[in-house]
Amino acid sequence: MELHIRGVSKTYANGVQALRDVTLTIPAGMYGLLGPNGAGKSTLMRTLATLQEPDTGTIHLGDVDVVAQKDAVRQTLGYLPQEFGVYPKVSAEELLGHFAILEGITARAARRSVVEALLRRVNLWDVRKQKLGGFSGGMRQRFGVAVALLGNPTLMIVDEPTAGLDPAERVRFLNLLSELGESSVVILSTHIVEDVSELCTRMAIIERGEILLEAEPLRAIDGLKGRIWRRVIERSALAGVEREHAVISTKLLAGRTVVHVYGDTLPAAGFEPVEPDLEDVYFSTMAGHHGRRHAQP
């Protein structure tokens, strides 16, 4: 099962162009969609989740036309939105049961067992009788995961899922996703590079509605080998370095500034080569040294 996105564009009524001619092929497995805030990730995710209409372009999941055959897509879809609320006066078990019916699990016994398994899975079984209004952000997020997992989706769309999670929960959640990625298409949008590097076999980088790079993370890192240089400088020297070199990222380290510079050769004395990581891929793509923006000046 593959997801084919062809030439999808979307412009909002206020003139913001959220997606520009997005074309992607997403195979089974974990797929990371990486981009800064406001890049169009959520628009693309909602469009894949049947909640928005593209202005142009087509999306197919296998043979199914996502835009036209929404009901068919929804039957295989698990969706965890970036932000969501709950009915505060309903218990976790009750609301999950309600969603189970909506997901087509109508037999009572089956529904019970699924609800129990999922609540145990996301570690909410002990608080299943508690009203959702009293849940913390992490608990609520886990509840959302349970809802998304209902019905064993073959297309899983998770939009910025790790944003509100503490480190332990994040690990647990990513484990869960990778398990699912063995059999389904799992699309994970995030602005945290580690999420992608830890999990995804394929990825895309999106900014201002455009896909800048579509690649396998490992191969992309390989492609940068020997092109990323590092130097530790004083903060006051940063402006000068930026003027002279293709700085892709700056970081603070014990009060001093670490700059990463893109270049086919050693840019200057004082720089040292570094082993590139996915973050370097991301930043050099964003800076225009890599990916499609580089190819079409």
Residues interacting with another protein, by CB under 8 A?
13, 46, 49-53, 68, 71, 74-75, 77, 79-81, 83-89, 98-99, 101-107, 110-111, 113-114, 117-118, 120-121, 123, 126-127, 130-131, 133-136, 138-139, 142, 144, 147-149, 151-152, 166, 168-169, 171-172, 175-176, 179
> Nearest approach, Cβ of 51 to another protein (angstroms)?
3
165-173 contact pairs (CB < 8 A, 24+): 165/138, 165/141, 166/138, 169/138, 169/141, 169/142, 172/123, 173/141, 173/142, 173/145
Residue 290's φ and ψ, nearest 5 degrees, are -150, 160
Residue with Cβ nearer another protein (60 or 294):
60
Question: Would you call 125 helix, strand, or coil by DSSP?
Answer: helix
Residue with Cβ nearer another protein (112 or 294):
112
> Nearest approach, Cβ of 265 to another protein (angstroms)?
46
> Nearest approach, Cβ of 241 to another protein (angstroms)?
38
**Distance spanning both ends of the chain, measured CA to CA:** 35
Residue with Cβ nearer another protein (39 or 77):
77
**Sign of the dihedral through C-alpha 228, 234, 235, 240:** negative
Question: Would you call 131 helix, strand, or coil by DSSP?
Answer: strand
Cβ–Cβ under 8 Å, residues 59 and 8: yes
Cβ–Cβ under 8 Å, residues 11 and 18: yes
Residue with Cβ nearer another protein (90 or 232):
90
> Nearest approach, Cβ of 220 to another protein (angstroms)?
30
Residue with Cβ nearer another protein (104 or 240):
104
Closest CA to 281 of 227, 224, 242, 226: 224
Alpha-carbon separation of residue 200 from 7, 27, 44, 79, 260 (angstroms) = 23, 11, 18, 18, 24
Residue with Cβ nearer another protein (117 or 266):
117
> Nearest approach, Cβ of 105 to another protein (angstroms)?
6
**Burial 198-226, CB ≥16 within 10 A → b, else e:** bbbbbbbbbbebbbbbbbebeebbeebee
Residue with Cβ nearer another protein (50 or 284):
50
> Nearest approach, Cβ of 236 to another protein (angstroms)?
35
Q: How far apart are CA 165 and CA 137, in angstroms?
A: 8
> Nearest approach, Cβ of 57 to another protein (angstroms)?
14
> Nearest approach, Cβ of 12 to another protein (angstroms)?
8
Residue with Cβ nearer another protein (159 or 279):
159
Lookup: tokens for 104: 């087509």
**Sign of the dihedral through C-alpha 29, 201, 252, 284:** negative
Lookup: tokens for 99: 């969603």
